[in-house]
Amino acid sequence: GTISYRYGHTVARYDMFKKRVLDDIKNDPYGRYHICNLWQEEEFKNRPDGLKPCAYETIWTVTGNKLNMFLNQRSGDLLAASGAGGINEVQYAALLMMVARDTGYEPGIFTHFVANEQIYDRHVNQAIELLNRAELLETKSSETDTMPQLVLNPDKKNFYDMCIDDFSIQDYEPMSPQIALELGI
């Protein structure tokens, strides 16, 4: 399978992110319409190939000096994508950090709703291994107070100037062996 013309293509085609998120938060921070929705029926009709977006909508709110983001997702692969530490969680946390920086706010609360969360049968053994490792992590986290942190380069202010190289992960100690998770599309 393929995601085809989804996500970035949809955002670019409708220029929705700049207009509906960045500009609106700067010009009307307490407005109720800071929404970026990738569920575009017209796109699905025009380009029926490809997967419909899983993570399809972000809603942004300002509370004091904090920018909060709500992510709606129709379906998610718990281990590889939509669960804690999965690619969806990390990429949208990074997006919140980038938008907050560009608009002059601190990152606030990231709320992630997944309607249909699943563990694929091809991931059952990895899920069992992760549960076994969780006990080790609980012991370790009670011994130290450090948790991994995703950090955005403090010199970067403009959303469109930021890139993946502007992020670093601090206090991360990976466990061995690494667990491989095949993504399902």
Kindly state the average pLDDT of the residues 160-168.
Answer: 96
pLDDT for position 183? 73
Is a pLDDT exceeding 90 seen at residue 13? Answer: no
Catalytic residue annotation: 54
Question: Are the C-beta atoms of 117 and 82 separated by less than 8 Å?
Answer: yes
- DSSP H or E stretch at residue 134: helix 124-143
Sign of CA dihedral 43, 38, 92, 23: positive
38 CB-near residues (< 8 Å, 6+ apart): 6, 7, 10, 11, 53, 55, 56, 57
Second-level CATH architecture of 8-170: 2-Layer Sandwich (3.30)
Average pLDDT rounded to a whole number, residues 127-140: 81
Q: Is the pLDDT of residue 29 over 60?
A: yes
Q: Is 151:168 a contact under the CB 8 Å cutoff?
A: yes
What pLDDT was estimated at residue 86? 84
Tell me the C-alpha distance between 152 and 156, whole Å: 8
Q: Give the pLDDT band (50/70/90) at residue 1.
A: very low
Short-list 167, 34, 26, CA closest to 102? 26
pLDDT digits (tens, 9 = 90+) for 57-98: 999 999 999 999 999 999 999 988 888 778 889 999 999 999
